[in-house]
Amino acid sequence: MNNMEALTSTPANGHGISTLAQVRRVIICAGTGCMANGAMKVFEQFKSEIASAGLRVILELRAEATSDEIRLSKSGCQGFCQMGPLVSVVPDGILYTKVRKEDVAEIVQQTLAGGHVVERLLYKDPATRKSCQGIEDNPFYARQSRFVLHECGFLDPEDIREFMLHGGYQAARKAFVEMAPEEICKTILDSGLRGRGGGGFPTGRKWEAARIQNSAKKYVICNGDEGDPGAFMNRSVMEGNPHSVIEGLMIAARAIGANETLVYVRAEYPLAVERMRGAVAAAEREGILGKNVFGTGLSMKCEVMEGAGAFVCGEETAMIASIEGQRGMPRPKPPFPAQSGLWGKPTIINNVETLAHVCRILNEGPEVFKQIGTKESPGTKTFALTGHVSNTGLVEVPFGTTLREIVYNIGGGVTDDAGKIWKTGFKAVQIGGPSGGCLTEEHLDLPLAYESLRAVGAMVGSGGLVAMNQGTCMVSIARFFMEFTQRESCGKCVLCREGTRQLLALLDDVIEGRADQNTLDLLDKLGRAVQIGSLCGLGKTAPNPVLSTMRYFRKEYEEHVFEKRCRTGRCKALLSPEINQVKCKGCGLCIKACPTGAITGEKKQPHHINPELCIKCGACATACKIHAVEGI
């Protein structure tokens, strides 16, 4: 309920806050996930049901709100996408999950009019089978430390006044009116804030490097080109709290002496583009962006640019090339962008999540920020927890949190393919996407931070955390990432361009049963060569998934290579389906199911599979009622 307190304690600005605090509010999550599950239909239904129940509904934050009115609003992504659409009722503190259009009438009657909880729409903890009324008793939320994400599920992203009522743009005002640029840089440096985009470079140092440049023109770019397949925390912040990004950009610009900023958003995120553009327009209307920022006479511009679909553009120099209208290819550093970046001017590029932390550091001071997290990696980090876990979604935790806490306590444990809890099913977690590595059972108690992860051959990266169960083939996973980086390699460095292609071919050899000892040696040698011989982060980290899986799942590689066997049955070419001659009753079901006519046999006699004709589709195994088809 921190926000409600904030609402009443924030300076009034003549918005009639005290009455607003008593207004009951229904918040419908309007993030990409919930929208896909029909959140807008739920929203419309609420509008009409509340009106027909004789309650007064208001859609906008208004000064003259009275306590018998209900405020209906949308919020950004609340992170619990799998259970969407999410509907919260405040100040009652109720969180309804998987709400359908048909459930709305009941919520209006029971909760809004009657003050009762609709039990069946509450989230049930799969481990304890207990219903959780709100976010306080929901293990998915209760065990997180949501700072960056907290506002995302509460504020109406399309309402700048709401953001301002919650203390928004106060940090920017402070930066412009009360602080000198070097003071801002020092505060950020003292806080120990490190880039959340992957590298973990100290943000304050980056800013200071740009600040000391003697140039009339400087730029700040917000990197919202979240290309890591499996991470979506930046999308969530841009959709849910776009003003926090603009505020962070303004502070960064003030710190280095820039008056032009740009948000580079990935084109796959249409809603984020729309919300960011809307937020910039609103900030211009309110006079926060424009010619005379906070009466200082300084000007500030913010532009939103949509990417065009290239993973490599997440790299700083490639992004600059893309903004300049070129092919997004990286160039050697130095000179660093802080010295010579966009149009040859000093430029800093910060990740969305990094910028979202900046306002808090300025408001609360670097000491408060440092209290959370580890000494080397202070603060919180948002991870996108996906894959084979019970609760998938965005998880913001302090650095130093263990994998066990995230996977088992917040994530609710590992699941099988059908989504049922699988107690002994944990196999690995892939962290940091295509540049990262695998963490195994032995790393479950490793505190997650920049250094600790690097030491075990992985990296924080953008924070994608994909949990994988025992049914996942690690060679196939390595191949999946290699295929991705190979496709996304810009082609500038020979070792990255050709090396990733060869690595992919070698992995195909392993998966399709053509590999020998030489293949394994080559994978290792070539992987290390690509790391050394590439210019940018993409190439330098591209072999990580292969090297890391070879390090921790050597046995599985060896089974593929020497025994021509995949223990999970995922590698089709290594399968050799056979009919168990003792079990088979000769019913003929498999003969009917086989699309290539590979199965023969007399009635009531054991059948046979002709390996020449078999395409290993598994239709026979599915058809057989007594599980007599083995090896597939």
Partner 1 sequence: MASMPIAVDRAEKFEKVVSILDRFSRRPSGLIPILQAIQHEYQYLPEEVLTYVATSLDVPPARVYGVATFYAHFALEPKGKHVIRICDGTACHVKQSLPVLHALREKLGTTEKSQTTADMLFTIETVACLGACGLAPVVVIDEQVYGQITPERAVALVDEIKATEAGLATASATEQPSAEVVNE
Cα-Cα-Cα-Cα dihedral of 601, 603, 604, 607, to 10°?
A: 20
Alpha-carbon distance of 338 to 348, in angstroms, equals: 5
Alpha-carbon distance of 121 to 4, in angstroms, equals: 24
Cα-Cα-Cα-Cα dihedral of 325, 328, 332, 333, to 10°?
A: 80
Helix (H, G, I), strand (E, B) or coil at 215: coil
- Residues 93, 167, 199, 229: which binds partner 1 (CB under 8 A)? 229
The DSSP secondary-structure symbol of 441 reads G
Does the protein bind partner 1 through residue 232 (CB under 8 A)? yes
Radius of gyration of the chain (CA): 27
Choices 50-58, 100-108, 275-283, 388-396; region in contact with partner 1 by CB under 8 A: 388-396
Does the protein bind partner 1 through residue 35 (CB under 8 A)? yes
Alpha-carbon distance of 274 to 279, in angstroms, equals: 9
Shortest distance (Å) from residue 180 CB to partner 1: 33
Cα-Cα-Cα-Cα dihedral of 313, 314, 318, 323, to 10°?
A: 70
Q: Which long-range contacts (CB under 8 A, 24 or more apart) does 579-585 make?
A: 579/606, 579/607, 579/608, 579/609, 579/620, 579/628, 579/629, 579/630, 580/628, 580/629, 580/630, 581/606, 582/606, 583/626, 583/627, 583/628, 584/626, 584/628, 585/626, 585/628
- Residues 111, 322, 380, 519: which binds partner 1 (CB under 8 A)? 322
Shortest distance (Å) from residue 395 CB to partner 1: 11
Choices 180-188, 252-260, 466-474, 551-559; region in contact with partner 1 by CB under 8 A: 466-474
Shortest distance (Å) from residue 167 CB to partner 1: 28
Alpha-carbon distance of 513 to 561, in angstroms, equals: 7
- Residues 59, 63, 180, 308: which binds partner 1 (CB under 8 A)? 308
- Closest to partner 1 by CB, 255 vs 490, is 490
Alpha-carbon distance of 302 to 284, in angstroms, equals: 9
Helix (H, G, I), strand (E, B) or coil at 318: helix
Within 13 Å, how many C-alpha atoms sit on residue 42's CB side?
A: 29
Does the protein bind partner 1 through residue 338 (CB under 8 A)? no
- Closest to partner 1 by CB, 465 vs 561, is 465
- Closest to partner 1 by CB, 261 vs 386, is 386
Choices 65-73, 160-168, 227-235, 344-352; region in contact with partner 1 by CB under 8 A: 227-235
Alpha-carbon distance of 448 to 466, in angstroms, equals: 14
Choices 167-175, 223-231, 254-262, 624-632; region in contact with partner 1 by CB under 8 A: 223-231
Shortest distance (Å) from residue 64 CB to partner 1: 38
Residue 212: count of CB within 10 angstroms of its CB: 15
Sequential DSSP letters for 140-152:
HHHTS--STTTGG
- Residues 407, 448, 477, 536: which binds partner 1 (CB under 8 A)? 477
3-state secondary structure 477-546: HHHHHHHHHHHHCCCCCHHHHHHHHHHHHHHHHHHCCCCCHHHHHHHHHHHHHHHHHCCCHHHHHCCHHH
Cα-Cα-Cα-Cα dihedral of 146, 152, 155, 159, to 10°?
A: 150
Total interface residues for partner 1 by CB under 8 A: 54
Does the protein bind partner 1 through residue 230 (CB under 8 A)? yes
- Closest to partner 1 by CB, 377 vs 485, is 485
Does the protein bind partner 1 through residue 80 (CB under 8 A)? yes
Does the protein bind partner 1 through residue 552 (CB under 8 A)? no
- Residues 392, 401, 486, 531: which binds partner 1 (CB under 8 A)? 392
* Residue 314 host element (H or E): none
- Residues 115, 325, 334, 597: which binds partner 1 (CB under 8 A)? 325
Shortest distance (Å) from residue 194 CB to partner 1: 23
Q: Show contacts with partner 1 in window 478-517 (CB under 8 A).
A: 480-481, 484, 488, 490
Shortest distance (Å) from residue 431 CB to partner 1: 11
Does the protein bind partner 1 through residue 204 (CB under 8 A)? no
Say which residues have a Cβ less than 8 Å from residue 464's Cβ, sequence separation at least 6: 228, 229, 230, 231, 383, 384, 386, 430, 431, 432, 433, 436
Type of residue found at 367: E
- Closest to partner 1 by CB, 31 vs 400, is 31
Within 13 Å, how many C-alpha atoms sit on residue 233's CB side?
A: 31
- Closest to partner 1 by CB, 230 vs 378, is 230
Type of residue found at 181: P
- The mark string for 40-79 relative to partner 1 (x by CB under 8 A, - otherwise) is ----------------------------------------
Choices 123-131, 348-356, 375-383, 464-472; region in contact with partner 1 by CB under 8 A: 464-472
Residue 568 buriedness (CB in 10 A; 0-12 / 13-18 / 19+): middle
Q: Is the peptide bond before 378 cis (omega within 30 degrees of 0)?
A: no
- Closest to partner 1 by CB, 105 vs 623, is 623
Does the protein bind partner 1 through residue 160 (CB under 8 A)? no
Helix (H, G, I), strand (E, B) or coil at 332: coil
Does the protein bind partner 1 through residue 387 (CB under 8 A)? yes
Does the protein bind partner 1 through residue 462 (CB under 8 A)? no
Contact 218, 257 (CB under 8 A): yes
Does the protein bind partner 1 through residue 84 (CB under 8 A)? yes
- Residues 324, 416, 563, 630: which binds partner 1 (CB under 8 A)? 324
Does the protein bind partner 1 through residue 245 (CB under 8 A)? no
- Closest to partner 1 by CB, 175 vs 273, is 273
Does the protein bind partner 1 through residue 267 (CB under 8 A)? yes
Choices 104-112, 396-404, 465-473, 519-527; region in contact with partner 1 by CB under 8 A: 465-473
Does the protein bind partner 1 through residue 269 (CB under 8 A)? yes
Q: What are the residues binding partner 1 (CB under 8 A)? A: 32-33, 35-37, 80-82, 84, 226-232, 235, 267-270, 305-311, 322-328, 384, 386-388, 392-393, 417, 430, 433, 464, 466, 468, 472, 477, 480-481, 484, 488, 490
